[in-house]
Amino acid sequence: MDTVTLSAKGISVSLDLAVGHIAGMEVEIDGRVLKPLHRAPWVGSPRETLPANLPEGTVRLSGDFLCAPFSASDVEAAPLHGWPANSEWDAVENGAIAGGRRATFRLRRKVMGAAVDKVFTLRDGHPFLYQEHIFSGGSGAISVAHHPMTAMRDGGRLAFSPKRVAVTPPTPLEPDPSRGRFMLAYPARAGDLRRFPLAAGGTTDLTDYRMEDRREDFITLVEADHGGPGWTAIARHAEQDLVLVLKNPAELPVTMLWFSNGGRDYAPWSGRHRGVLGIEDGRSAIGHAASLGDNWLKHEGVATVFALAEGRLVSFRHVIGAVPFANTDAPGDVEQTADRLRIHGPNGAMKEVPFDGDFLRIGRTVPA
């Protein structure tokens, strides 16, 4: 596997240049080594053992990657989640900066005529990957999303920055019971994440990831207007850590959750993709054409694309990290200061870790 590894004090991140997926991430903190991101169990298997029609991004499904567009590429021909998630990137810069390291990668293909750059920044002593994606030029408009995935051996608890509403799409990911299963009601919506409708009746708590719930589910959370960073926190029980994903809601107004816990019975999933949660912060509906069209999110006042144009620069930023966390419940709040991230535990305790508080405030995005 052709990878480039970027390291700073206490953190390392490797990028699979064949598809632009993060192949590995390790955080050394408080005498522990945390691995917050997931790799599919079939990665590295001989290609002939996998279905012939599998997109390369699924063959090498790992860590986090850029989706552009998110889901179906039904405007400009490309595999699922677009060329940024399925084709080659080149390392164009990789060097030391004051107190850390930075690398820039460029997608060999263009997206809607735009050049695409991926910028990774690591800072000494910070348990976070700071990343930015930049679209230069192009025409039309593009939907985007990050696709970080974490995995839990024994489930976990989830917490979020304030959300306005949670909505499932019209149909489930796996409607055919001979191929898979799901739990949530489709379509459905709720303002309370702890009481979302189930297909079988009743409600479930979306903040409780239970390993006994064998299912494949997808739901979109719309950020509320709260003035702070958007965040998702996953307290992994067996791993005794807290996986953190942060965004600027003005850039990425929705968080799409993918619950993948043994809910697909066909290859390569084969019931073995277990305990996985995708935290897909984006500016998108499901599919490129849907994002451009008259979708339900637009009726909620939520942007679903970035406009591209010759001479225009569009960028958006995202943060992934992990810290030790022995609580079985998720934190009550996460807040940023100029140089710290404060994690408020469920029992009133507070943990602080180094954090670049300006990173999510500063961007070069020109909104659609």
Residue 366 lies in a domain: no
Residue 363 lies in a domain: no
Peptide bond into 268 cis (omega under 30): yes
Tell me the CATH number at 35: 2.70.98.10
For the chain, what is the domain count? 1
Residue 367 lies in a domain: no
First-to-final CA distance of the chain: 37
* pLDDT at residue 365, as a whole number: 47
Query: Buried b / exposed e across 129-157, counting CB within 10 Å, b at 16+?
Result: bbbbbbbbbbebbbbbbbbbbbbbeebbb
Strands 241-247 and 128-137: unpaired
Residue 55 lies in a domain: yes
**CA nearest neighbour of 34 among 42, 25, 22:** 25
* pLDDT at residue 187, as a whole number: 98
Which range of residues forms the domain containing residue 329? 3-354
The helices-and-strands tally (H runs, E runs) of the chain is 3, 28
Residue 365 lies in a domain: no
Residue 342 lies in a domain: yes
* pLDDT at residue 348, as a whole number: 83
* pLDDT at residue 347, as a whole number: 80
Residue 359 lies in a domain: no
* pLDDT at residue 327, as a whole number: 83
* pLDDT at residue 1, as a whole number: 56
Residue 143 lies in a domain: yes
The pTM of the full predicted model, rounded to 2 decimals, is 0.96
Identify the segments of the chain with pLDDT beneath 50. Answer: 364-368
Angle at the Cα of 27 from the Cα atoms of 25 and 33, rounded to 5 degrees: 105
